A and B are shown apart, each in its own frame.
Chain A
Amino acid sequence: MTSKQPSHQPSHQPDLPTGEQLYETLLAGVHALIAPLERQSVHLVGIHSGGAWLAQRLHQDLGLSGSCGLLDISLYRDDFDRIGLHTQVMPTQIDFPVASQHLIVVDDVLYTGRTIRAAMNELFDHGRPASIKLVVLIDRGGRQLPIDADFAALTINLTKKDNFVLQKTETGAFTLHLEYGNA
């Protein structure tokens, strides 16, 4: 668990790091995080869609074996009664046995923590992992559950109306935008 508290920067900060800069920070962070673990038992699991992009590239850059896991948590959400099943659900792909493995869950933005709660519930339906760690590109504060990232490339307090949007260009590079909501 990181002890870093979200810094109190204004949400309209003009000089944010770029998506690629943050990715490099994330890569270094994950590298350090998995260093003490037995490499064969480490698996990345990306949450659709931003986390899946990140996990796939991390998997390649870290030279991990096998395939990386992709998770769609739509079937485990806690707000199904309110929003239903409208958006396109992507199939979850976990092509390795989860039991006794070290899983690194990857997501782009950590906010309320509800997505991570759903992701952990889904992972346990695949087996009993040895451990689960969470790495994210951005921790934007605003947690509603006792969940924290083991590594965040950027920690920043964002107001409720604003959002980070991660995109992937045709060449595979990451771009990051801060979208300001209407007050």
Chain B
Amino acid sequence: MLNPQLNRHGELTHLITTEGLSRQILTHILDTANTFVPLAQRDVKKVPLLRGKSVFNLFFENSTRTRTTFEIAATRLSADVFNLNISASSASKGETLLDTIANLAAMQADIFVVRHEASGAPFLIARHVAPHIHVINAGDGRHAHPTQALLDMYTIRHFKKDFTNLRVAVVGDILHSRVARSNIHALTTLGVPEVRAIAPLTLLPSGLEQMGVRVFSDMREGLKDVDVIIMLRLQNERMRGALLPSAHEYFKHYGLTQEKLVLAKPDVIVMHPGPMNRGVEIDSAVADGPHAVILDQVNFGIAVRMAVMSIVAGASA
């Protein structure tokens, strides 16, 4: 099947999902990010690679952090960045998504960074833009969050060097998590032999076993001897539904505490995509402890987003 993210030369021209991307493409992105990491230490933190290009940040759903890291990434590549808070403008006046995009394309956009509450919105945009325009998914519904997954992969590779001897546990609301989905695809493609999903049964999607994932509803059992723990944010709105009893109850069974952390390997790293709910999915002692690499993730996230923008912008039309 033709991957809609690749052009006819097999180059990455949009980044919509980690699903279906080859190990070679994922590794190329991580290697390219490697060259951008040291930039943060320089006096001049910019390179002229995307000079003259226009990057439009289209956030139909709020996210200050992700939008800011994309903005920093584009700015460090010398692109011109335009932030559009769509939820407060055209969409509320009744304009369709594709009309909004057509208007922005007419303003000579080169890259659209799209976050949307509807799964599939970035894909729809990618299918309708001209070949010289590139779309990067910054999170769509429950579907995918590929740059978060890639920065997680970068962080894991940075600390663990090799994917092929790791046990990685993803913990929390996997059912509603685009981060979990994108991470599982990327981990599997990069050759992680054991991916575990740890969650209450009400927050586990069906079909995980078919993706090669080992499922645990007992957190203590699931954390045994893992090298990497990826915690997920528990979205407060889930608490109001029938899926969970209470935040206190959730923390008791699925919150990451020091006492549970000792079950993992002694050199385990703890990751979290942010924003964290301290005392709900993670204890402060762990979040601020020596195993946490959460702030490294934020730093690497800029380099990874620079890599993705550089690679798609360089794909031939």
Residues of A within 8 A of B (CB): 72, 74-76, 80, 83-86, 88-93, 121-122, 125-127
Q: B315 to A88, Cβ gap below 8 A?
A: no
Task: Find chain B residues with CB under 8 A from A75 CB.
Answer: 35, 47-49, 310
Residues of B within 8 A of A (CB): 11, 28, 31-32, 34-35, 37-38, 42-44, 46-49, 310-311, 313-316
With A72-B35, A75-B35 given, is the CB distance from A86 to B46 under 8 Å?
no
Q: A89 to B43, Cβ gap below 8 A?
A: no
Residue of A nearest to B34 (CB): A91
Task: Find chain B residues with CB under 8 A from A89 CB.
Answer: 31-32, 35
Task: Find chain A residues with CB under 8 A from B42 CB.
Answer: 125-126
Q: Can you list 21 A-B contacts (CB < 8 A)?
A: A72-B35, A75-B35, A75-B47, A76-B48, A76-B49, A84-B311, A84-B315, A84-B316, A85-B49, A85-B314, A86-B314, A89-B32, A89-B35, A90-B35, A92-B35, A92-B38, A122-B47, A125-B42, A125-B43, A125-B44, A127-B43
- The CA-CA distance from A127 to B310 in the complex, in Å, is 24
Q: B11 to A121, Cβ gap below 8 A?
A: no
CB distance from B79 to the nearest CB of A (A): 12
With A88-B31, A122-B47, A125-B46 already in contact, 11 other A-B pairs whose C-beta atoms are closer than 8 Å: A75-B48, A80-B313, A80-B314, A84-B316, A85-B310, A89-B31, A91-B34, A91-B35, A92-B35, A93-B38, A126-B44
**Total A-B residue contacts, Cβ distance less than 8 Å:** 51
Task: Find chain A residues with CB under 8 A from B313 CB.
Answer: 80, 84
CB distance from B27 to the nearest CB of A (A): 10
CB distance from A126 to the nearest CB of B (A): 6
CB distance from B278 to the nearest CB of A (A): 35
Task: Find chain A residues with CB under 8 A from B46 CB.
Answer: 125
With A84-B315, A85-B310, A89-B31 given, is the CB distance from A121 to B48 under 8 Å?
yes
CB distance from A49 to the nearest CB of B (A): 14
CB distance from B311 to the nearest CB of A (A): 6
CB distance from A169 to the nearest CB of B (A): 26
Task: Find chain A residues with CB under 8 A from B32 CB.
Answer: 85, 89
Residue of A nearest to B28 (CB): A88
Task: Find chain B residues with CB under 8 A from A88 CB.
Answer: 28, 31
CB distance from B293 to the nearest CB of A (A): 20
Closest 6 CB pairs of A and B: A84-B314, A125-B44, A75-B47, A85-B314, A89-B35, A91-B35
Residue of B nearest to A124 (CB): B44
Task: Find chain B residues with CB under 8 A from A83 CB.
Answer: 314
Residue of B nearest to A127 (CB): B43
Task: Find chain B residues with CB under 8 A from A80 CB.
Answer: 49, 313-314
Which one, A86, A90, A93, A125, contacts B47 given CB within 8 A?
A125
Q: A91 to B314, Cβ gap below 8 A?
A: no
Task: Find chain A residues with CB under 8 A from B314 CB.
Answer: 80, 83-86
CB distance from A155 to the nearest CB of B (A): 31
- The CA-CA distance from A46 to B49 in the complex, in Å, is 21
CB distance from B153 to the nearest CB of A (A): 17
Task: Find chain A residues with CB under 8 A from B310 CB.
Answer: 75, 85
- The CA-CA distance from A89 to B311 in the complex, in Å, is 11
CB distance from A42 to the nearest CB of B (A): 21
- The CA-CA distance from A122 to B46 in the complex, in Å, is 10
Residue of B nearest to A77 (CB): B49
Task: Find chain B residues with CB under 8 A from A122 CB.
Answer: 47
Q: A84 to B35, Cβ gap below 8 A?
A: no
Task: Find chain B residues with CB under 8 A from A127 CB.
Answer: 43
